[in-house]
Amino acid sequence: MCGIVGIYSQNRVAEELYDSLINLQHRGQDAAGILTCQQRFDLKQGLGLVRDVFSKEILAGLQGNIGIGHTRYPTAGGYGIENAQPVWIGHPRGMALAHNGNLTNYKELVHEITYKKRKHLYSSIDSEVLLHLLADEVEPYGLDDGDDDNFFDTLCCAVDAIFDKVQGSFSVVSVILGKGLLAFRDPHGLKPLEMGERLRENGEKDYIFASETSMFYSLGFSAVGSLSPGELVFVTVDGELFRKRLVKKQFKPCIFEYVYFSRPDSTLDGISVYQSRMRMGQNLAKKWKTQYPNEFPDIVIPAPFTSNTAALAFATELGVRYCEGLYKNHFIGRVFIMPDKNKRSKSIRYKLTPQRTEIEGKKVLILDDSIVRGTTSREIVTMIRENGASEVYFVSACPPLIEPCFYGIDIPSRGELLAAQKDHEEICSYLDIDLLLYQSIDDLVDAVVGQSKGAVQTPCMACMNGQYITGNINEDKRIRLETERHATVSCV
């Protein structure tokens, strides 16, 4: 679940790509990269946060009015600089790509590229595989400087072949040297890809494509909607825009974007993340009143801070006080996307400081966006009890997570998921809580889909219901993918 952005502008784009990545930092903090294009590619990548990778001097050296950027959250491949994005190749023409998602037939594609086509892969990420597939599909049609209409037809044929060959999730932004900026989204629309326009004084338009809309306002872009599932959009070097939906399949966007990953000020596929989380909190409170009619907390505390919107709605619906009883240190990264359990456990105490005056002697209800491994949830409960809470209740805005995600969320195996290994009472005992409540699947779907006006019927909820929408994941493949994921993590 990375962050991607592509910009076509009348002016240099390096600084705006940087600003965009700052707005997408929450989607990945392992590595960052920017590639710009004029007569050549200029590329800068680095490990760590965006602000640590780039300086004014580095940005000044990234020339061109077309470019793409990436913040990395590794769910495939290792953690080294060789796996940073964007990735690029020079043959048959300069082509670069940044990708958000996971390919579930990655091993099969690697075998085709390396053994059948005898090509070398420099990284262990599926984004490089996508780039080679795109280049291979474009090459037979030629990449000479012909007219834009013919080249768009070439791109349509190439991307259509990718849709037929690639399984999994992928939203992509790509630059083709001397041709323009390309964006496309997988046939189920699993990963978000938003589009914006900016009208210049001369009447021409700039374009942006990004994982979220969070940077649109500050950069002066107006959101014009999402790329449809299976759609391709191409902006030529002269600013002419082409778009076409190549494949029509059932729209299944990832529901975890609304639960946790996206910023609350973003709108994805016409659905407000903030309003979704408000409805999650309201639905949870109604369920609480039904399930625990005689139990009312004194305060409701969000933990982590991504659940504050749902917690505020929950407290309002229940008629109790909302309280930030855990103060967040905003300079600590997102705990969920840290690469291992020890770092997550250690970082939670650095990130959250209990407010004893708010907690002591009270019945405290903790509202979290989800319970994944239970590591951070247990640590939070311990902190609340250490500060004198008389009772501790725990509420999750997300249903129980019982299956791994193979589409780009770091939920790598069934064995690591608390709800897949323990029943209700065992979870209460493990977390050391008095009462536990999960959101129901129906209530979560209502909170998100209710805003889509029919565009989204059923989101992807494979981690909650085991229904893998790409249809190529059986039990044997699940075990193999889990094993591969663990092998990657063990190399860190």
Q: Which residues are catalytic?
A: 2
Structure token digits, residue 123: 């990284």
DSSP assignment of 9-70: -SS--HHHHHHHHHHTGGG--SEEEEEEESSSEEEEEEES-HHHH--HHHHHT---SEEEEE
- CB 171 within 8 Å of CB 99: yes
Q: How far apart are CA 308 and CA 304, in angstroms?
A: 8
**Three-state DSSP class for residue 418:** helix
Measured torsion, CA atoms of residues 468, 473, 479, 480, in degrees rounded to the nearest 10: -130
**Three-state DSSP class for residue 256:** helix
Nearest residue to 196 (alpha-carbon basis) of 458, 16, 464 = 16
Task: Give the contacts of 17 (CB within 8 A, at least 6 positions apart).
Answer: 5, 7, 34, 36, 62, 67, 68, 69
Amino acid at 337: I
Q: How far apart are CA 359 and CA 389, in angstroms?
A: 5
Structure token digits, residue 268: 């994805």
Beta bridge partners of residue 363, listed in sequence order: 391
Phi and psi for 396 in degrees, rounded to 5? -115, 130
